[in-house]
Amino acid sequence: MTEQEIRVAVVGYSFMGKAHSNAWRNVGAFFPGLPAVRQQVLVGRDGAAVKAAAHQYGWAEAATDWEAVVARDDVDLVDICTPGDTHRDIALAALAAGKHVLVEKPLANTVVEAEEMVAAAASARATGTRAAVGFNYRRVPALALARELIADGRIGAVRQVRAAYLQDWLADAAAPMTWRLRKETAGSGVLGDLGSHVVDLVQLLLDEPVVTASGRLETFVPTRPGPDGAEQVTVDDAAWATLGTASGAVASVEVSRMATGRKNGLTLEVYGDRGALSFDLERLNELQVQDGLAGPALGFQRVLVTEPEHPSLSAWWPPGHVLGWDHTFTIQAAELLQAVAGGADPTPSFEDGLQVQRALAAIADSSERGGVRVDVPTGPTGPTGPTGRTGTED
Amino acid sequence: MTEQEIRVAVVGYSFMGKAHSNAWRNVGAFFPGLPAVRQQVLVGRDGAAVKAAAHQYGWAEAATDWEAVVARDDVDLVDICTPGDTHRDIALAALAAGKHVLVEKPLANTVVEAEEMVAAAASARATGTRAAVGFNYRRVPALALARELIADGRIGAVRQVRAAYLQDWLADAAAPMTWRLRKETAGSGVLGDLGSHVVDLVQLLLDEPVVTASGRLETFVPTRPGPDGAEQVTVDDAAWATLGTASGAVASVEVSRMATGRKNGLTLEVYGDRGALSFDLERLNELQVQDGLAGPALGFQRVLVTEPEHPSLSAWWPPGHVLGWDHTFTIQAAELLQAVAGGADPTPSFEDGLQVQRALAAIADSSERGGVRVDVPTGPTGPTGPTGRTGTED
Amino acid sequence: MTEQEIRVAVVGYSFMGKAHSNAWRNVGAFFPGLPAVRQQVLVGRDGAAVKAAAHQYGWAEAATDWEAVVARDDVDLVDICTPGDTHRDIALAALAAGKHVLVEKPLANTVVEAEEMVAAAASARATGTRAAVGFNYRRVPALALARELIADGRIGAVRQVRAAYLQDWLADAAAPMTWRLRKETAGSGVLGDLGSHVVDLVQLLLDEPVVTASGRLETFVPTRPGPDGAEQVTVDDAAWATLGTASGAVASVEVSRMATGRKNGLTLEVYGDRGALSFDLERLNELQVQDGLAGPALGFQRVLVTEPEHPSLSAWWPPGHVLGWDHTFTIQAAELLQAVAGGADPTPSFEDGLQVQRALAAIADSSERGGVRVDVPTGPTGPTGPTGRTGTED
Amino acid sequence: MTEQEIRVAVVGYSFMGKAHSNAWRNVGAFFPGLPAVRQQVLVGRDGAAVKAAAHQYGWAEAATDWEAVVARDDVDLVDICTPGDTHRDIALAALAAGKHVLVEKPLANTVVEAEEMVAAAASARATGTRAAVGFNYRRVPALALARELIADGRIGAVRQVRAAYLQDWLADAAAPMTWRLRKETAGSGVLGDLGSHVVDLVQLLLDEPVVTASGRLETFVPTRPGPDGAEQVTVDDAAWATLGTASGAVASVEVSRMATGRKNGLTLEVYGDRGALSFDLERLNELQVQDGLAGPALGFQRVLVTEPEHPSLSAWWPPGHVLGWDHTFTIQAAELLQAVAGGADPTPSFEDGLQVQRALAAIADSSERGGVRVDVPTGPTGPTGPTGRTGTED
């Protein structure tokens, strides 16, 4: 397996491009048994800027034309770190060219796009081409451990999940207008940005889809200063949802960019009939565990998830030597390489990404309909009904 | 003022009766400037048991007939610690007899009852008779401080509240049936029991009523073992709500008796446009403060609310010598005595209690209607529909 | 047993007198099986002030002459809450008069006084008269649980204790001079005041005496403003010690009144060869437990010590309804009453109190001798050697 | 400046070699304005193993002969990650060859060695050759911020530091013998390993040397299983010290490999006369701040040290996206490159490393002498006694 080399192209070189570049540069140093990575080319629209970024982040080349890049023979994997409105086009082209694809979350801006991408991934899969979506928080070792503990029955059957993802970078009403606050460019506000992570984690941890959703979206600051005066904010800056899963569990979700004092506050509490788990991304090396198989529920145990037997940890440092946020992307790269090398389907799949989109669309739809509970379709991809319940974009 | 003596009767001698007895026994030792309290009589149905309890808790007498007690000349204040379905009758009788009344929360089991009690309190007020409802968590010094900080503008205009009250005493599906799990006796499940505290605190902290509600109630364990086999649980054991306030703030609420590992987990996060606050009842002497007037929001300050200048603290111990849960009832008693002595209306009033009931009824109503947002009436008491729910959109 | 009545006199009515009065007023309400308490008389030097305090705190009478009080026939128990320099005289008189005695910590100001008190208590014991010293933190349920867990082998053999008691009320160099800062009145500074608690807890938890001590005392603010200008501070305002126990464990101790931001920061960490415990008095309802019998040491479990099976907790409230600082005195009173009623010796005994004094004296002695380790005598009371190692007051 | 390239050789390829390789591989991606790094050669004794490591960690070559490597023309900087007993020889050779040197902490195994290295670094400095010691925890942004806050007077004059570094990897008495537990190979036990970090941080934060020390060393498990039966442990596995600084501050230090449940528990509390700071390496992105310039000391503020204005943070990710342990080495590399490029002396210098060694030697010396306080020499390097300890007993 170690003979193999994967030549990677990353499209996008800002925040996510930097994080993914870091992962490709380092994955081999920590996961030596995997195919070697060659940082082939970094792609961006601004030639000078992408050239500088490529140099800084360790890429052999820079390029400005993604369509040319995805067609190159010396590229094996295309990693898409661009804004959501370009995901579908790049992914479809790359898959059609036989390249493995990693798409930064959310999978797409609409359910319709996501469904097209799922169809393309399904076709590509038949020829051994792999597709994955980049929900990197699945790779936080503490959350991977949480999933293991739940799967092992350590908290029993899950009844309730209490989840939030709170930031405060828009709390100041004087913060200026950006493309992220316009529906036509961003597709969605905090719901798509942070809510997508939360929904993915709920579905991951419970290993089942969300099937009903009740939602409320709010825009607390309706206008913001633009270069030519006040502009209308057309996306949500906070959102709430109550989700039902197939097994009857209920998850509450709150996401916000207005939660003063919260910087990257992704918190999860999972309550089973025998035990419970709790997590906070700002302390990402820790998992609070109420182990239902270890006696009465007298209190949460703070597990520092840095032991060699913890998920992915044997690749890193001795116990107590904590990981940072960016390590999750390195682990994500490792798991994708392993799938590619092993001829297996990576996770999360485009189907997983689609299912997140469907839940988000249902939340938005419910909000428009006064909060009434709506169903989230979970079957195979197909035409959706005229109600718009599965697609806010109809 | 100190010449005055208030002769108290407490009705009920179990959990709440014990807590209120403790308050009456101790209030004078910590708040010496108030009217003296005489622990006149403890009332309960079981003569032997109430006699033993009266002896234990420091009451001069025990009695079994509350109707006789509320009519006695040597009783000035009736403190009602019985289950919710008797609140109205006792309160109305006591007010009619010119006694001051304290009613343990929730004010009543239905909005209709609560409205009757409000009307009675309004009449009594005209003759200087006082009525209050016992939302003791208002008296947690950290929450009283929270209210002050918000009123002083220290966190700016509140946009979001994230609240929960989580316990786990019913998480075990084998826990037996009790009267608390039957609608006919308990009126409501966790929503009325714990949710009433949360709604009261939201309205207190924001100093405005909840005006819309979307809710979901859930009964995770639908039957429980009774003496003669499985019995149906007819109340909720978990509930969720998204509430809107008059000013446009949104509060999310989650309450549960199934949250494994949470013993008395009342948590509140309040996000304003300049700062934020956070509280956890399991650490009730602490308030986490993000002071919006003290620079950028870089982190929460853990304030140990035990300084002499903190609310009610000068009555107690030196800094760092923490209070317990039961001290909140002593402070509650002190504030009621102060109102009585000063000829002022105590808080929270029956009107406050009614407003909580209305919000709870709206949440339950929304749940039955698929989660759609309903209005919460806030005007003066008026005729209500026959259901006892105040007619949220019907 | 319940027929018995214990008539109590408390000497002293300020901070500790208030706390002890609270305990005597409430002990019967929570521990009903014990002898009834009669709050007979409160004693103080200022007649008007003690009369007011007696009224406020629930005492039948006030008195100013402690010598007369301890001789009264209608007093069964004398509870000494005065400054340390009067402990010996009052205790000896009370014991001689056949009264049970409770002495607030520290037992005495000097080892010599403590030895006399031990001798007196030993004589009194022969006639069924009981003597105890008031190290109330032994009654914190979390610390009582800690002791149980250690005794049950849950953390294995203890190797290290890391302890501190940090306050900040003298951190401001402008804080005025008080009698507490003069050696002639206070005997000692923070070492005797807070250090005595820490040493007692170390000896309690490990169930063995401290046998060696190395110490350092420091006075960071050597003069403070008095009414007539700057005065010399003649006691320590911070102290450090490294203590060895009989079994070979080592305890580090740090106490300070200068630790800015710490209000009542008594923290203990106990490391055994299989597990560990951690405690913080500012969160006194919690014990962090690393249970050595429950698998590998992956993290501390936060136990909320409010379950009915936890020490003393069945007397109080349901799980999660936390206790405060003052409850420890009520539990202390209950344990003393139980010993008196049962004809057993209460703990901590005067011998325990003496052993604390000896360790404190050794710490101070070591400090004067450049920090060199000195032995702490542990045998029966007798004349001490000329080195001064067992007595700072020679 | 960016034109320059620094060709690096790392000697050692296990734990520290991996961590330093990671730093050299990544420093350019985060600190683009610095000289480019070329990962020239990785050096180790086992040819096959070092070749594999070099490949894995991104080095152009592997080598087994460090003496040849330090003499190579195509090496500009030698980074020494070997055990302490080889530090002097490699460093002296490299400096003599005109190479910049980074030595992993502790600087050396003895004070004598450290003094020789200081002399060599002083000579090299004259020709622009730079030498630094790798106390990477100086590069934890929260600790760099702590230093800034103290230097800015935000906590006033420091009086007390309470420090510990607690691990538990030797708590199990059955853990096998290793070279780390033999004095001849390891030089010291936990004192040199973890204590050196603590002493360095104390001297860094207070910006002054430790001048007196009282110490106690303990070996709780005196023998451990070796391949041929039980072997004697000849180093300390726990140590305590009370240190005095030039300005009169006192620091308590506790280090242990036996602290069950602590994985990498470096904790620091710094108390000034106006404010305080607290830090825990297991939560290395956080600093608890009691800002003395922001009002009364009511509680610690949890600052998430991830804002762009925090030390080194502008190089990394947006607020709330936390760093890990290994990032500290990358920052360390950046600061060294900056010094080299700017013609400035890097910190911590060999002199800083020597001063740590002197304090450690004094602690060990004090322990052997019963804990009595000894002086720590702080003057310029001079002849020392034959023991290698800098004459505390002279």
Q: What is the ipTM of this complex?
A: 0.94
| Cβ contacts of A162 on chain B, cutoff 8 Å | 164, 254
By DSSP bridging, strand C158-166 and strand C250-256 are parallel
The mean predicted confidence, pLDDT, of chain A is 94
Task: Give the minimum alpha-carbon distance from B262 to chain A in angstroms, rounded to a whole number.
Answer: 8
> Among D64, D275, D280, D255, which Cα is nearest to D159's?
D275
CB-based contact, D299 to chain B, within 8 Å: yes
SS3 state of residue B167? coil
Q: Which of D389, D381, D387 is nearest to D111 (CA)?
A: D389
Judge whether B149 lies within some domain: yes
Domain finish residue from B110, B136, B162: B136
Helices then strands (H, E): number in chain D? 11, 17
CA C313 – CA C307 distance, rounded (Å): 6
Q: Are D273 and C260 within 8 A, CB to CB?
A: yes
The whole-number average pLDDT for the span A34-47 is 97
Report the percentage of chain A scoring pLDDT > 90.
Answer: 90
Nearest CA in chain B to D309: B298
Give the H or E element holding residue A41: strand A36-43
Q: D275 — contact with chain C (CB < 8 Å)?
A: yes
CB B268 within 8 A of CB B214: no
Judge whether A366 and A374 are in contact, CB under 8 Å.
Answer: yes
pLDDT in tens, chain C (394 residues): 446 899 999 999 999 999 999 999 999 999 999 999 999 999 999 999 999 999 999 999 999 999 999 999 999 999 999 998 999 999 999 999 999 999 999 999 999 999 999 999 999 999 999 999 999 999 999 999 999 999 999 999 999 999 999 999 999 999 999 988 999 878 899 999 999 999 999 999 999 999 999 999 999 999 999 999 999 999 999 999 999 999 999 999 999 999 999 999 999 999 999 999 999 999 999 999 999 887 776 789 999 999 999 999 999 999 999 999 999 999 999 999 999 999 999 999 999 999 999 999 999 999 999 999 999 999 775 444 333 333 333 2
**Contact call for residues D280 and D260 (beta carbons, < 8 A):** no
**Residue contact D56–A29, C-beta within 8 A:** yes
Instruction: Give dist(CA A205, CA D161) in Å, integer.
Output: 43
Residues C88 and C148 placed together within one structural domain of the fold: no
Digit-coded pLDDT (tens) for B253-285: 999 999 999 999 999 999 999 999 999 999 999
- Return the residue of C nearest to A309 by Cα: C298
Token reading at A176: 């200026």
Phi, psi of D237 (to 5 degrees): -110, 0
Confidence grade of residue D390 (pLDDT, cut at 50, 70, 90): very low
For C154-202, give the DSSP string: TT-SEEEEEEEEE--TT-STTSPP-GGG-HHHHSSSHIIIIIHHHHHHH
* D185-188 own/partner pairs: CB under 8 Å, 24+ apart: D185/D83, D185/D85, D186/D83, D186/D84, D186/D109, D186/D235, D187/D84, D187/D85, D187/D109, D187/D110, D187/D235, D188/D109, D188/D235, D188/D236, D188/D360, D188/D364
Virtual torsion, Cα B224, B225, B227, B233, nearest 10 deg: 10
Are A205 and A139 in contact by the 8 Å Cβ rule? The answer is no
Q: A139 pLDDT exceeds 90?
A: yes
* Residue contact C271–D220, C-beta within 8 A: no
Q: In the 8-state DSSP scheme, what is residue D213? A: E
Question: Is residue D291 pLDDT above 60, yes or no?
Answer: yes
Which residues of chain A does D324 touch, with a Cβ-Cβ cutoff of 8 Å?
Answer: 321-327
Q: Please give the pLDDT value at position B392.
A: 31
* % of chain B residues with pLDDT over 90: 90
Interface probe for A, chosen from C300, C301, C305, C310 (most Cβ of A below 10 Å), is C301
Phi then psi for residue D324, to 5 deg, are -110, 180
**Residue B44 included in any domain:** yes
Chains near B (3 or more Cβ pairs under 8 Å): A, C, D
Q: What is the pLDDT of residues A232-261, one digit of tens each?
A: 999 999 999 999 999 999 999 999 999 999
| Same domain assignment for residues B122 and B166 | no
A192 and A302 fall within a common domain:
yes
Q: Report the SS3 class of residue A224.
A: strand
- Position B369, amino acid: R
Coil, strand or helix: which one is D188?
A: coil
Q: Is D299 close to C160, i.e. CB distance below 8 A?
A: no
pLDDT for the residue B4: 84
Q: Residue B263 and residue C167: Cβ atoms within 8 Å? A: no
D123 interfacial to chain B (CB closer than 8 Å): no
A164 in reach of chain B (CB within 8 A): yes
pLDDT of residue A387: 33
> Measured between beta carbons, which residues in chain D are less than 8 angstroms from residue C149?
none
Contact C301 A300 (CB under 8 A): yes
Helix A111-125 to helix A350-368 angle (10° resolution) is: 170
Find, among B79, B86, B93, the residue nearest to B43 by Cα: B79
Put simply, whether A366 touches B (Cβ < 8 Å) is yes
B168 and B102 in one domain? no
Q: Do A282 and D282 touch (CB under 8 A)?
A: no
Is residue C111 assigned to a domain?
yes
**Are the Cβ atoms of B214 and A216 closer than 8 angstroms?**
yes
Residues of D in contact with B294 (CB under 8 A): 294-295
The pLDDT of B69-88, averaged and rounded, is 96
Contact partners for chain D, using 3 or more CB pairs closer than 8 A, are A, B, C
Task: Tell me how far apart the alpha carbons of residues A326 and C245 are, in angstroms, rounded to a whole number.
Answer: 47
Q: How confident is the model at residue B293 (pLDDT cuts 50, 70, 90)?
A: confident
* pLDDT tens digits, D307-362: 999 999 999 999 999 999 999 999 999 999 999 999 999 999 999 999 999 999 99
Whether the per-residue pLDDT at A382 is higher than 90: the answer is no
| Residues of D in Cβ contact (< 8 Å) with A58 | 28-29
Residues D315 and D174 placed together within one structural domain of the fold: yes
Residue B140 has pLDDT above 90, yes or no: yes
Structure tokens at D123: 């000579």
Do residue D324 and residue A327 have CB atoms under 8 angstroms apart?
yes
The answer to whether the CB of B303 falls within 8 A of the CB of B286 is yes
Element (H, E) at C12: none
C184 and C303 in a single domain? The answer is yes
Q: Least CA distance to C294: which residue of chain A? A: A294
For chain A, state the CA radius of gyration: 21
Query: How far from each other are the two terminal CA atoms of chain B, in whole angstroms?
Result: 50
Confidence of residue D179 (pLDDT cuts 50, 70, 90): confident
β-bridge partners, C164: C254, C267
> Are C70 and C162 spatial neighbours (Cβ–Cβ below 8 Å)?
no
Chain D residues touching residue A21 (CB < 8 angstroms): 29
Report the run of H or E that residue C259 belongs to, with start and end.
none
Both D42 and D11 in one domain: the answer is yes
- D274 to chain C: nearest residue by CA? C260
* CATH number of the domain residue C32 falls in: 3.40.50.720
Interface check D295 vs B, CB under 8 A: yes
Interchain pair D301, B300: CB under 8 A: yes
How close is the nearest chain C Cα to the Cα of A298, in Å? 5
A289, closest residue in chain C (CA to CA): C301
Task: State which amino acid sits at residue C377.
Answer: P
Whether residue B22 and residue C19 make contact (CB cut-off 8 A), yes or no, is: no
Q: List, as one string, the DSSP characters of A255-323.
A: EES--TT-SSEEEEEEEESS-EEEEEGGGTTEEEEE-TTSSS----EEEES-STTSTTGGGS-STT---
Whether B322 sits inside 8 A of C282 (CB atoms) is yes
At residue B391, the pLDDT reads: 30
For residue C147, tell me if it sits in a domain: yes
Of C298, C300, C303, the CB nearest to A298: C303
In chain C, residues with a C-beta closer than 8 Å to the C-beta of B51 are none
Distance between CA atoms of B333 and A270, rounded to whole angstroms? 38
Q: Do B303 and D298 touch (CB under 8 A)?
A: yes
Contact assessment for residue D105 and residue D192, using Cβ atoms and an 8 Å cutoff: no
Contact A263, D304 (CB under 8 A): yes
On whether any CB of chain D is under 8 Å from the CB of C173, the answer is yes
> A with B: how many residue pairs have Cβ under 8 Å apart?
135
Chain A residues in contact with C300 by the CB 8 A cut-off are 301-302
In a domain, A361, yes or no: no
Which residue from D330, D277, D313 is spatially nearest to D146, judged by alpha carbons?
D277
Distance from the Cα of residue C85 to its chain's centroid: 16
Residue entry with tokens 């969300």: A210
Q: Which residues pair with C6 in a beta bridge?
A: C37
- The candidate with the shortest Cα–Cα distance to A323, out of D285, D53, D278, is D285
Q: How many domains does chain B have?
A: 2
Closest Cα in chain C to B31: C56
Range of the domain at D127: 5-137
Neighbours of chain C (3+ CB pairs under 8 A): A, B, D
- Note whether A195 and A309 are same-domain residues: yes
CA–centroid distance for B232 within its chain: 28
A85 touches B: beta carbon within 8 Å: no
SS3 category, D216: strand
What long-range pairs does A305-309 form, CB within 8 A, spacing at least 24?
Answer: A305/A141, A305/A142, A305/A145, A306/A141, A306/D263, A306/D264, A307/C296, A307/C298
**What's the start-to-end Cα distance of chain C, in Å?**
46
Q: Which of C323, C338, C353 is the last residue of a domain?
A: C323
C32 and C101 in a single domain? The answer is yes
Cα C24 vs. chain centroid, distance in angstroms?
Answer: 18
Mean pLDDT computed over every residue of chain D: 94
- Nearest of B269, B268, B240 to residue B256 by alpha carbon: B240
Phi/psi of residue A112, nearest 5 degrees? -60, -45
Amino acid at B370: G
D292 → chain C, closest CA residue: C260
DSSP A177: P
What's the average model confidence in pLDDT over A270-274?
97
pLDDT in tens, A208-228: 999 999 999 999 999 999 999
Chain B residues near residue A389 by CB distance under 8 angstroms: none
Q: Do B299 and D303 touch (CB under 8 A)?
A: yes
pLDDT number for residue A381:
58
A121 and A149 part of one domain: no
My answer on whether A235 and A94 are in the same domain is no
CATH number at residue D145: 3.30.360.10
pLDDT tops 90 at residue D47: yes
**Amino acid type, C122:** A
- Among D7, D13, D22, D73, smallest CA distance to D328 is for D22
What average pLDDT does range B308-312 have in this prediction? 96
Q: Are residues D201 and D125 in the same domain?
A: no
Using an 8 Å CB-CB cutoff, list chain A residues near D266: none
- For residue D371, give the nearest of C256, C261, C372 by CB distance: C372
CB of B283 less than 8 A from some CB of A = no
* Structural domain includes residue B244: yes
| B179 pLDDT tier (thresholds 50, 70, 90) | confident
Q: Write out chain B residues lying below 8 Å of D286, CB-based.
A: 299
| Listed residues B322, B346, B375: the one ending a domain | B322
pLDDT for the residue numbered D376 = 98
CA closest to D251 among chain C residues: C240
**Inside any domain, residue C296:** yes
- Residue C85 placed within a domain: yes
The reported pTM is 0.95
Contact across the interface for B302 and D304, Cβ inside 8 Å: no
pLDDT of res. D4 = 84
